[in-house]
Structure 1
């Protein structure tokens, strides 16, 4: 049976549209595809964006918090120029692939380092958001690591 070129083009379009519709329906029905927002209060967090920008500028003007992977876990080295007893804040660890693994740690330092235990960090990508204040100034540093 011979198919003329007009019929072949129409059949090609139908096959392509069917292919695309299959994947659109599959992504909407599949429960393994998680469509969560980054945060629950996305719009509320967006209102604080300028405050975050100011805190990042403050952090960039001073010595940054450095990260070091060790056998015990991840060590955050805070700047040596600050009085670590006055530093307060939070370290938020966000796992892009699984919302249930996200957690926050308070920044309460007994020395210039903060240890995140190895058992809390599974292998993979982590986005780290270090928010802290010292002497009335807010600081924000964002890092991404693969553990």
Structure 2
């Protein structure tokens, strides 16, 4: 085989490889953004910073994951209201949001056995006594 045929074969192989990679990329359907409206959320980011600072000023842990019982315990005072977001970074279709309204200080455990096994981010946003708070915890089920 001479140089001319070798170069032609390399170029054809490269073209086939690139065509295959482009086809694979185009057919992917599980591409998910962290959020659909990230421009609007970027503008509100200072509010998020204030919530995180308020949470750091608290003297106790609010969000506790019990891996044995597969529960998330919320240590919030009575009257606290907010949202608990179970965020799955690998697949947005598995995300869940729950409204939190604390009426009893004893039964604040949320069962997570029905969530698919894997890596999750649990995001808790709540307000109490006119202040807003935010805490995030990474868990593996």
Q: Same fold (TM over 0.5)?
A: yes
Out of 91, 94, 113, the residue aligned to residue 87 of structure 2 is: 94
Alignment of 1:10-25 (within 5 A): 11-25=9-23
Report how far residue 71 of structure 1 moved. 5.1
Report how far residue 43 of structure 1 moved. 2.5
In the alignment, what sits opposite 2:2? 3
Out of 103, 116, 126, the residue aligned to residue 122 of structure 1 is: 116
Unaligned runs of 5+ in 2: none
Report how far residue 89 of structure 1 moved. 0.7
Find the residue that maps to 1:22 and give its secondary structure: helix
Report how far residue 35 of structure 1 moved. 1.9
Find the residue that maps to 2:46 and give its secondary structure: helix
Distance in 2 (alpha carbons) for counterparts of 1:142 and 1:17: 46
Out of 123, 138, 141, the residue aligned to residue 144 of structure 1 is: 138
Greater than 6 Å deviation, 4+ residue runs:
none
Q: TM-score, normalised by structure 2?
A: 0.79
- The answer to whether the 8 A contact 2:65-2:139 is kept is no
Out of 29, 32, 39, the residue aligned to residue 36 of structure 1 is: 32
Q: TM-score, normalised by structure 1?
A: 0.76
Report how far residue 136 of structure 1 moved. 1.3
Instruction: Pick closer, same or farther for the CA change 1:57–1:16 going to 2, 3 Å.
Output: farther
Distance in 2 (alpha carbons) for counterparts of 1:7 and 1:114: 72
- The answer to whether the 8 A contact 2:72-2:112 is kept is no
Report how far residue 96 of structure 1 moved. 2.2
Report how far residue 88 of structure 1 moved. 1.2
The number of residue pairs the alignment matches comes to 139
Alignment of 1:42-81 (within 5 A): 42-62=38-58, 63-70=60-67, 72-78=69-75
Distance in 2 (alpha carbons) for counterparts of 1:73 and 1:108: 21
